[in-house]
Structure 1
Amino acid sequence: MSYPEFSFHTTADEVATAFADIIRGKNVLITGTSLNGIGFDTARVIAKYANLVIITGYNAERLKLTEEAIKKESPSANIRRLTLDLSSLAAVRSAAAEVNSWPEPLHVLINNAAAQITPFSLTVDKLESQMATGHIGPFLFTKLIAPKILAAGSPTYTPRVVFVSSIGHGFGNPGVDFANMKKPDASIFKPMQAYFETKASNVLTAKELSKRSNGKINAYSLHPGGIFTNIMQKGDGPAEMHRLGMLDEKFQPRPESNMKTIPQGAATTVVAAFDPRIEDAPGSYLNDCVAANELVSAFCTDPANAEKVWATTEEIIGEKFGF
C-alpha cells in the first residue's frame, strides 16, 4: 500500500487520516496531554480511530478538560484518564500498577510529557526535576508497563514506544553528565543544559530499548519542531527561548524562527507511532515526519552512551529493565 509523503507542514490530522486503518483497534497511552500542547493534539487525532486512548497528567482537573475537548470533537472516542506524576517514582509505580490492572494490552506508548524549564529544583526523590520528569520517570513507567506493551505483540505487529525528544539533544554541552544525573549539583545547574541532557537521554533510551528488546518493541525518538507550547510560555522557558533567538523581546515567536503550529508539531509523533515505513528501522530519530538519523548528535550515536544512560537510570530507579 502506498502512503502520502509527509513534510514540515504536515499536520497530525493528515497523518492520522493516512494511517486510520492501522490505528483502528489499537490501544494507545500518551503522557502529558494538557490543552495547548502537542500531547493533547496527538491524543485528539488518534482518538478518532483508536480502540482506546489513555491520557495522562498530574492534574486531574486539567485531565478532565482534555477528555472533554477530545469528546466534543469525537463523541464516540474511548478515553481513559490516568493520573500520573512523573516527577515522583512512587507516583509512577502507583500509576503503572493501575495500568497493569486493566485487561487491555498496550499497542503504543508515547512518552510525551516534559517538565517546565525552571531554576534548579529537586523532586521528592532528590533528582533534578527536568531529568526526573522527562527521562527517569518515563524510563521507570515504560519498564513497569512493559508486560502490557509486550502483550500487544503478534507475528504481524510489533508494539511501539515513542519518546518525544528535541533537536536540542545535541545543543549546549552535548551529552549527558551521568554523575550529575545520579547526584544533581546545584552549583553547575543551567536550565537549558538540563533540558538538552534530558532530550539526549530520550534519544539514547529509544536506541537502547529497541536493541535490548530484540525485535519485541520498536522504539523511536523525535524532534517535533519548534512550537509555541506551554514550555515556551511558562517558567524560565520564555527568557531562555528569547536568549536562543526563537522569541522576540515580548516573548512571542520571531517570524524567522520558522516555528510549527501545534498540529504540525504533533504530526511527527503520530508518524513515529504508526507509520509502517519505519518498521525496519527501530531506534530511529525522526524530524519533519521522516527518519532523520543524520541529525543525531555524535554523543547520541555512540552505542556506549546508550548503554550507559540505561545502566545509570537502572541504578537510580533501583531496578533492572530486562526482557
Structure 2
Amino acid sequence: MTRPTSRDVATAAGVSQATVSLVLGDKWRGRVSARTADHVRETATALGYRPNLAARNLRLGSTRTALLVVPALTNEFFARVYTGAARVAAEHGFGVVLYPSPEGTGPARDPFASARAALDGVIASSMAADALDAIGGDDLPLVMLDSDPTAHGPAAHVNLDMTDAIRQTAHHLLAHGHRHYLHLASAVDSWTFHLRAQALADLLDDAPTTLRTVRAPLTVDAARTAMEAALADPQARPTAVVCDDDILAAGACKAARRLGLRIPEDLSVTGIDDLALATAVEPELTTVRLPAERVGEQGMKALLTVLDGAPWTAPDLPVELVVRGSTGPAPAR
C-alpha cells in the first residue's frame, strides 16, 4: 500500500499543501486558525500519514537545491525561466538543477531515483501536476508555473496573465477590421493552451466574426504543413491567424509565402512569447511578450516562501503586445 503524502492530506482536508506544512511543522500559530490546525492533524492521523524525515531536513536547508522541470531545453522561453530562477536561487545560496521532461508535458521520470534526498523542492513549468508524481516524492514542495491554478497538490502557483495576452491580440486585430480568424493552436494538451483557446473563442464570440481552429505540433515544419492545408481554399481563407506561440507563427508565415500570400496585406499573423525568432522572420512578428525570466524569479521566490513555512500569493504576471510588421488592416473580401 502506498504511504499517504502531505499532498494527500491537503486534498483530504480541503486545504493547501502549504497549510499542511505549517500545521505538521508546528508553525501554524498566527497563520492558521486552531480549528483548521486540528482538522489537518485529524485528517493526517486518519490517513495514517507519517512525515518524511529526509524531506523535513531538506526544508531546514540542508541541501539548498531546487529542481526545475521544463517540457524541453530547445525552447528559448524555458531557458529564460531557468535564468530567472537561478538568479534568485543564487541570491539565497541555492542551486537549481534543470531537467527536461522526456515526454514534453509528462509524465516525467524521476531523474534521481533513490537520490531524491538531494532536493529541497521542485519547480515545474507548463506541465500537469500529476505528471510530476515520480519526481515530487512524499513531501517535496511543488511550485507550478503557467499551470492550472485550481489544481490540488502544488504548494504554490505562478502564472502569466494569458487571458490578457489573447485580449490584447484580439483587440488589435479587431481594430484593424479583421472579422475572419484562424487559430493555429498547439497540439500539446496542457492548461495554458486550453486557456488561450477558450479566451479567444470568448472574445470573438462577442463580435461579428468567424473563427476556425487548426492544431499542430510545436515545430515550424508541422505548423507550415497544417497552415498550407488550412489556406488551400481561397474562399475559406481567414484574414488573420492567431498562433499559440512564435514557433507556430513562423510556420504560418512560411505557408503563406508558399501560397503566394503577402503578410500583412493578404494575411495578418500574430504569435505569443516574443522569442528571438520574432524579429528573425520578415516581416517581423507581432507577438505578446511574456516575461519568462520574471516567471522563473517568481517561481523560485514562491518555493523559498513555502520552504519557510509561509503561504504564497501573487497576482498573475502582466504581459505586453508588441506590434510589428506582420499585422495590418484586413484585406477586402
| TM-score for both structures, normalised by structure 2 | 0.34
> Which of these two proteins has the greater Rg computed from alpha carbons?
2
| TM-score for both structures, normalised by structure 1 | 0.35
**Greater share of strand residues, 1 or 2?**
2
